[in-house]
Amino acid sequence: MFDKLEDLLHRFEEIMNELSEPGVANDQKRFTSLMKEQSDLTPIVEAYREYKAKKQDVADSLELLESESDEDMREMLKEELNDAKKRIEELEDKLKILLLPKDPNDDKNVIVEIRAGAGGDESALFAAEIYRMYMHYADSRHWKTETMEMEEIGIGGMKSVTFMISGAGAYSVMKYESGVHRVQRVPETESGGRIHTSTITVAVMPEAEEVDIEINDKDIRIDVCRASGAGGQCVNTTDSAVRLTHYPTGIVIYSQTEKSQLQNKNKAFALLRTKLYDMKLQEAHDAEADLRRSQVGTGDRSEKIRTYNFPQGRVTDHRINLTLYKLDKIMNGDIQEIIDACIAADQAAKLLKMNA
């Protein structure tokens, strides 16, 4: 581990020297690449430099203890020595986590797809609530959101909704939300007061760029039509909606949220690229079954990951056996504690696998 850390420290110093060269900013591609690498290495280098400093503190304290006869000074040196040793242990754990292989998609924006499942209208109502939960959470992180597709029902529910979250490290956080979310409560339409169980599915996909997925024009059919449903001025009066059909996979994308046909077309292609890229990732996950089992719910879309029990005011994440009694806050977007626990469990599983 420490040989690797020395190599990374050396590489970091090389990058800093390259960035200080005159004219490096003239080559935007190289400059951007260097800045990205510097940003990725900075937390590792800072932790390793502190680790080395604390190791030196331990050596200095031991040396001074051998020659110091004053008891008060010896006690102070022992205290400094213990503090340094404790910090060294903390930094070793931190460095192990920082050196874990990074998901290449972690820095990407995400496209989230929520679909009503079992439970009819109650499922669609819950899908709308989870959509609002993610909107509130994204807002708390100062992330930008953009709705791409939405199919609503008349009572305020959603059969499906697809939206993009743009922000630094969005996928690294949101990927733990993929799976089946279950709700247990008494529906407003239930006169007998019986608790019903409904489900929705959440798919979190890293946004695919053109370099990630190449789409052959021959594989696509583009249809334009008049947008349907409620809309602003001009939305329903022009052929602004776009439907893409991808022949090889059968994927159909319908985009009508923008007034401009070109904007809807761009949105539709962005969503198609992401879905095709996600299919590639799912195939890779299936091919690496052992890796997928070691992760905390970031691969299997059919996995029941969480239950929202309204009568008891609790939320349970089944992957990590975490139960929180703050349902109201969670439904208002306060999901950071759950996500942090998922990240910690995922890191622990990977460390265990690496040590084994």
Structure tokens at 53: 């400093």
Confidence at residue 282, expressed as pLDDT on a 0 to 100 scale: 77
Confidence at residue 294, expressed as pLDDT on a 0 to 100 scale: 45
CATH number of 217-284: 3.30.160.20
Question: Collapsing DSSP states into helix, strand and coil, what is residue 209?
Answer: coil
Confidence at residue 42, expressed as pLDDT on a 0 to 100 scale: 92
Q: What are the 10-residue block averages of pLDDT along the chain, 356 residues in total?
A: 87 91 85 88 92 92 86 89 92 88 87 91 94 97 92 88 92 94 85 84 87 80 73 54 87 82 85 86 65 48 87 95 96 96 90 75
pTM (two decimals):
0.74
**Domain ranges, ordered by start, for the chain:** 2-98, 110-211+297-355, 217-284
CB atoms within 10 A of CB 7: 10
- CATH topology (fold) of 110-211+297-355: Alpha-Beta Plaits (3.30.70)
- Phi, psi angle pair for 119, to nearest 5°: 125, 0
Distance, CA of 85 to CA of 91 (rounded, Å)? 10
Strands 144-152 and 196-206: unpaired
Confidence at residue 266, expressed as pLDDT on a 0 to 100 scale: 85
Structure tokens at 258: 């923008």
**Exposed e or buried b per residue across 224-238, where buried means at least 16 C-beta atoms within 10 angstroms of its C-beta:** eeebeeebeeebeee
**Exposed e or buried b per residue across 316-338, where buried means at least 16 C-beta atoms within 10 angstroms of its C-beta:** bbbbbeeebeebeebbebbbeeb
Distance, CA of 281 to CA of 112 (rounded, Å)? 15
CB 242 within 8 A of CB 264: yes
| pLDDT tens digits along 91-102 | 998 898 888 888
Structure tokens at 208: 């695919």
CB atoms within 10 A of CB 106: 14
296's enclosing H/E stretch is: none
Which distant-in-sequence residues (6+ apart) come within 8 Å of 293 by Cβ?
none
Confidence at residue 129, expressed as pLDDT on a 0 to 100 scale: 96
Closest CA to 14 of 58, 45, 43: 45
The CATH class for the domain spanning 2-98 reads: mainly alpha
Confidence at residue 132, expressed as pLDDT on a 0 to 100 scale: 97
Please state the length of the chain: 356
Strands 179-185 and 304-309: parallel
Confidence at residue 194, expressed as pLDDT on a 0 to 100 scale: 85
Closest CA to 310 of 167, 155, 198, 150: 198
CB 102 within 8 A of CB 299: no
Strands 196-206 and 158-166: unpaired
